[in-house]
Structure 1
Amino acid sequence: MVRILRGLAHKYFSDEEAVILFLLLVTGTIFVIWFGAMLAPAIASLIVAFILQGLVSKLNRMGVPQTVAVISVFLVFMGVLIGFIFGLLPLIWTQVSTLAGEAPRIIRELQSYLSLLPQEYPHLVSEEAVNLIYAEISAEVGHATQWLVSFSLSSIPDLVALLIYMVLVPILVFFFLKDRELIVNSIGRLLPPQRPMMVRIWHEVNLQCANYVRGKAVEILIVGGTTYVAFKLLGMPYAALLSLLVGLSVVIPYIGAAVVTVPVAVIGLFAFGWSSQFIWIMVVYGIIQALDGNVLVPVLFSEVNNLHPVVIIVAVLFFGGIWGLWGVFFAIPLATMLKAVFAAWPVQEDIPAPAQEA
Structure 2
Amino acid sequence: MSGGVDSAVAAARAVEAGHEVVGVHLALSRAGGTLRTGSRGCCTIEDAMDARRVADRLGIPFYVWDFSERFRDDVIEDFVSEYRAGRTPNPCMRCNERIKFAALLERALELGFDAVCTGHYAILRDGENGLELHRSSEEAKDQSYVLGVLTADQLAHCLFPLGETPSKALVRAEAEARGLAVASKPDSYDICFIPDGDTRGWLAEKVGTAPGEIVDRSGAVVGSHDGAHAFTVGQRKGLRLGVPAPDGKPRFVLEVRPVSNTVVVGPREALAIAELAGARFTWAGTAPDAPHEEFACDVQVRAHADPVPAVAVVRDGELVIRPDEPLHGVAPGQTAVVYAGTRVLGQCTIDRTVSAVPAAV
TM superposition score normalised by structure 1: 0.24
Q: Which has the higher strand share?
A: 2
* Structure with larger RCO (C-alpha < 8 A, sep 6+): 1
Higher Cα radius of gyration: 1
TM superposition score normalised by structure 2: 0.24
Q: Which has the higher helix share?
A: 1
